[in-house]
Amino acid sequence: MNQLTKAYLCLLLGVFCIAWSAIFVKMAHAPALTSGFYRYFFCFVGLLPIWLVKGVKVPSAKTVSWIGLGGLLFVLDMSFWNISILKTSASVSTLLANNASVFVGLGAMFFFKQRLSRRYWMGLGVSLLGIFIVAGRDLLQNQSVGVGHLMAITAAVFYAGYMLVTQKVRGGIDTVNFMAWSLIPCMILSWGICWFGDWQLLGFDTQTWWAFIAMGVICHLAGWLSINYALGHIPAAVVSPTLLLQPVLTAVISYFLLNEVLRTEQIVGGLIVMLGIYLVNKRN
């Protein structure tokens, strides 16, 4: 098997792994924020042997500060997304949270004075239209589900911030060291939130513990290591559109395992959202 074929297989494997994220959150009989903590914890446990073999590299104080900020933004992203998943369907929540790349452009314009192309604005408009079609009915008729949709969009905004922050440090640190160091503030912050908020951290059933482990090892560790490997051998212009398979796979899995059925306007709106995300990523 040549290196390019291996990279494409890793990309598909990575997308398949992350597509299960919302499914495992639904399967865990636990508070949303607790699921986030154990996702980081079990990912770190799985990554630790790889990190030690690869070689622990202590980053500079400036890099540590950026990693800490990135950790805060990622915890906020995952917290809002996990709450969203429990309030709405796994597939819709995943779709709306995938708009992070759209919001990255706005962040780059405001904070880094980056000029945005006409194609970006076109993609943003298309994506917002799709979001309105997907979430509009629930926002008007079902307040609880509508709040779940808004939380997924908020999660996308925080993840966009995380992506912008990590761009500051990724050039000076390898993938394994970056992932390992960034998991530390994520674990500390999420544990602190659960402790101060008096969220349950122990006493779960077997299914929930397996769901926690799967979130950390399958979705976070295997999924993102595979995608990062693919990014080293396949152009980002190919990887980014391929990641749009995540909400599609989540919708298929949730249909069979969770009996979640999308309404016609959600399917149409979802396709429009993915078209908007594709237009944004094709340029960037």
The more confident residue out of 146 and 66 is 66
pLDDT band at 170; cut points 50, 70, 90: low
Question: Residue 242 class from Cβ within 10 Å (0-12 exposed, 13-18 middle, 19+ buried)?
Answer: middle
The per-residue pLDDT for 105 is 79
Give 239-249 pLDDT, tens digit per residue: 767 777 888 88
Closest C-alpha to 152, from 76, 213, 222, 209: 76
- Which range (87-96, 184-193, 229-238) has the least confidence? 229-238
- What are the angstrom distances between the C-alpha of 130 and each of 70, 86, 160, 212, 268? 28, 22, 19, 32, 8
Give 95-150 pLDDT, tens digit per residue: 888 888 778 878 878 777 777 788 888 888 888 888 888 877 776 677 778 888 89
Listed by start position, the domains of the chain span: 3-283
The DSSP string of 144-180 is HHHHHHHHHHHHHHHHHHHHHHHTTTGGGS-HHHHHH
Task: Name the residue with tokens 């309404």.
Answer: 263
